[in-house]
Chain A
Amino acid sequence: MRRWLPWLALFVISVGALSIAAFGARDIPTAQDRVTKISQTVKCPVCAGEAVAGSNAPASVEIRRQIAEQVQQGQTDDQIRSYYSAKYGDEILLTPSASGINILVWVLPVVALALAIAVLVIVFRRWSIDPTAHATDDDRELVKAALESDAIENDPHGEGDSR
């Protein structure tokens, strides 16, 4: 039990630190921070795939100005985003909505990962049915031969057994 003590301490401290990180008091985002955050999710309509936050095209500068105005007026993040998607179509939002066919882009990765983990679990279970390897006499001969000589014939490039 003693040996687990330091680990217990580590666990408690991490939980504490992470709780403060998650729920602790933080600086209230200023209006400017809100503008930055929203403009990171709106696409610049005249650039090739950049966000409004990261583009100096006149359209982006203008959209940032408009967002700042709307933040000043007290609109919420979602209201501002829907204003733009209503005007220019869903394409202007950099995060695809979670409706219709767009659900696929959110769900597929999770499904793929879950599938992969499931396959791994099944494979490991099958493998662990017989975990101990039994050495046969052939195996012992093989080990003896390998320990005695370093070179194997018919294998000039040291590739070993192909199979």
Chain B
Amino acid sequence: MNLALGRAGVTLGLAAAVLGVITVSYGLVRRRPELVRLSRWYAVLIFLGGLLAFIAMERALITRDFTLKFVADNGSSTTPAIYNFATLWGALEGSIILWATILGGYCVAVVLKFRKRLSDPLVGWAMITMFIVAAFFFWMMVGIANPFQAFSPPPGFDGPGPNPLLQNHVLMAFHPPMLYLGYVGFTVPFAFAIAALITGRVGEGWLLATRRWTLIAWGFLTAGVILGAWWSYEVLGWGGYWAWDPVENASILPWLTATAFLHSVLVQERRGMLRVWNISLLCATFALTILGTFITRSGVIESVHAFTTAGIGVALISFFAVIVLATVGLIGWRGDRLRSPGRIDSPFSREGAFLANNVLFAAFAFVILLGTLFPLFVEAINGDRVSVGVPYFNRMTMPLALTLLFLMAVAPVLPWRKASAELLRHRLLWPAWIGVGAMVVSVAIGARGFATVLAFGLGGFAAGSAGRQLVIATRRQGLRGLVGRANGGMIVHIGVVMIAVAFAASSSYVRQAEFTLTEGQSAQFAGHTLIYVGQDVKLESAKIVHQVLVTIDGTGPWAPSLNKFANGKQTIGTPSVRSTLTGDVALSVIDISPEEGGTVTIRVTVQPLIIWLWIGGGVMAIGTVLAVFPGRRRKPTDPVSSPSAMESKVPAEPKQSTGSSL
């Protein structure tokens, strides 16, 4: 029953997507608007197909229907219900169901939002692009990554359950869906960019129509990445929240180009410039999500996250090649229309800052992409095997990150067109005091390391600048000064500064040690006192949990544990973390000696300011939500920048809004 339902859903989705492409493109080419408007029904059918497959698979997982091979491989009667639900995206075929369903949902959302202009060729071609992407993912589910394969379970069969690491924490239920909402969300602005290139309407229209979609997709991706870091930290137990793992890098690459895009569109909206940059950044974002999917699912680069099946690497890299070809071809064809006659008057202006921003983010993405793919290139060239890991990425991205912090401080106060030294001096004074104050305070409490302290200083500088913008906006508009793209953006900046400072502090000042203790024995480490007070054993449905009870500085007892899973898999450790605003102490169990009253070996990791990573993430989320709301309405003809050196007989307008919110 589940099998039939699922297969029906997948077939429905594929058929609707393919027919949609044919019908709508025919309608556009032959100028039959009634055919083009049919896109709304195709979108609904695609979503229904995906939803059917999703429901069928979830039902099978929850009821432990082992007649489906996917459930037989990944489900188990001993796994708690929520993990069975989340197992859908814990294995490859199921994750494609999630992707396709979310894509169908976005298709429906687009036809709803644009229901009044469905016959507009811009929207039509955008729908065609989205249908093509949907067709690809449904095609994978019909062929190489088929989740609905039959299986005849022998009597008494019980599946192995998901990987133990995926059953350890509730964030498993949230991190992948958030990520996918982000990745898939970028399909919408990408589709509109392609439509703009095809129709030749490469002005600001497509941009204005989709800017909120891009922001929302970006918001989901940010949340997904931060939840992933949090989950990794909670589960792995040695303070690791970011390992520059290839799959993690794959998620951050589209985030970087999307962030650059979100900033650069401000220049295009205001002055019609940087069009080539913007369209390239957006298409690069989407292409990078597909490349990221390839890296995750092809197995060509080893990663703790990778999962693969035969043939899927070829399919994904071919799709990536098609996207790249189409995008580069279209941009090359329409290149002349994208050029704008305007120029950037001065590098010391907001346009200049955003251009520098684009370059820095592109360089950032380039470094990460190079480092991730370099082992593959070396192996292709001379067969050697090399590794590129955390030390490389930290060292190469640090100068870029520091420069970006500096830019984050200076850009919001830069006016459009041209800045004067006096203006900057006046506006940046207080933020600069905050930055220097941060450096002095950190050095006074013992922080060392040039780059780390510089990061603290630049972070303070950037936070001060963002704060200044918010203060000005709220003074003028009260609470409404916190809403809208520019103000929400400043709140997001503050969140970014929190994360940057926390990252710098926790990576530079991490300390680790292992201790073997008998009961009642204490250990001193990094200013903390740890006492091993006892053990405990808990029996749960899927595992036996051996807990080691340790007090930290008198608090606790904290209970890191070793989990022995019922289906005979290796023992997995669960850490226990004490978080305070100043830092975290993470404990994990290395060994429990089996004799009565024997020793235990625990590993301690002390890292400062970790909790600010998650607080910063929350602030970024709040800022994004606030940014999505419409801000102060302004007429297109309101003057927005200080007058430039212009011979003009038009009387100068009274100075308004000098360089603050949008």
Contact = CB atoms under 8 A, between A and B. Distances in A.
Contacts of A163: 203, 337
Classify chain B: how many residues form its interface, as a range: 35 or more
B596 interface: no
A140 B243 CA distance: 57
A143 B650 contact: yes
B629 interface: no
Contacts of B382: 101
Interface stretch (B214-222, B367-375, B528-536): B367-375
Contact of B450 (A18, A64, A90, A101): A18
A33 B203 contact: no
Contacts of B359: 113, 116-117, 120
Interface in B446-469: 447-450, 452-454, 457
Interface in A11-38: 13-14, 17-18, 20-22, 24, 26, 32-33, 36
B425 interface: yes
Given A6-B429, A131-B345, A157-B120, A17 B362 contact: no
B582 interface: no
Contacts of B425: 3-4, 7
Nearest to B306: A48
Contact of A109 (B337, B367, B453): B367
A92 B389 CA distance: 10
Interface string B428-443: 0100110110011011
B447 A102 contact: no
Contacts of A108: 370
A82 interface: no
Contacts of B366: 109, 112
B240 interface: yes
B648 interface: yes
A94 B388 contact: yes
A160 interface: yes
A91 B387 contact: yes
A83 interface: no
B202 interface: yes
A14 B236 CA distance: 38
Interface in B173-221: 200-205, 208-209
Nearest to B304: A48
A22 B450 contact: yes
A61 to B, nearest CB: 6
A124 B337 CA distance: 22
A153 interface: no
A157 B205 contact: yes
Contacts of B38: none
Given A56-B238, A112-B366, A147-B637, A51 B302 contact: no
B573 A56 contact: yes
A92 B367 CA distance: 21
Interface string A114-156: 0011001000100110011111000010010011001000000
B432 A10 contact: yes
B654 to A, nearest CB: 15
A56 B590 contact: yes
Nearest to B449: A21
A59 interface: no
Contact of B452 (A21, A95, A150): A21
A103 B510 CA distance: 29
A21 B445 CA distance: 11
Nearest to A17: B439
B337 A95 contact: no
Interface stretch (B67-75, B484-492, B639-647): B639-647
B243 A10 contact: no
A64 B381 CA distance: 33
Q: Give the interface SS of chain B, mostly helix, strand, loop or mixed.
A: mixed
A127 B450 CA distance: 37
Contact of B448 (A14, A26, A127, A147): A26
A61 B117 CA distance: 62
A70 to B, nearest CB: 16
B388 A105 contact: yes
B449 A49 contact: no
A124 B607 CA distance: 45
B513 A32 contact: yes
Contacts of A63: none
Interface residues of A, number: 72
Contacts of A113: 359, 363
B646 A49 contact: no
B374 A96 contact: yes
A106 B371 CA distance: 9
Question: Of residues A49, A102, A106, which shows the largest number of chain B Cβ atoms within 10 Å of its Cβ?
Answer: A49
Contact of B246 (A26, A47, A49, A131): A49
Nearest to A3: B425
Contact of B201 (A20, A97, A104, A159): A159
Contacts of A143: 650
Given A14-B436, A157-B117, A33 B302 contact: no
B635 A150 contact: yes
A51 B392 CA distance: 13
Contacts of B378: 101-102
Contacts of A147: 637
Contacts of B371: 105
Interface string B642-662: 001111111000000000000
Nearest to A94: B389
B590 to A, nearest CB: 6
B588 interface: yes
A30 to B, nearest CB: 8
A125 B566 CA distance: 70
Contacts of B644: 132-133
B370 A21 contact: no
A4 B424 CA distance: 12
A51 B304 CA distance: 12
Nearest to B591: A61
Contacts of A150: 635-637
Contacts of A104: 374
A143 B337 CA distance: 23
Interface in A46-97: 47-51, 53-56, 61, 64, 89-97
A120 B355 contact: yes
Contact of A50 (B243, B343, B344, B603): B243
Nearest to A55: B238
User: 5 smallest A-B Cβ distances: which pairs?
Assistant: A159-B205, A94-B389, A21-B453, A162-B203, A22-B450
Given A32-B511, A61-B590, 9 more contacts: A17-B457, A21-B452, A40-B391, A43-B389, A96-B388, A112-B366, A116-B359, A120-B355, A128-B345
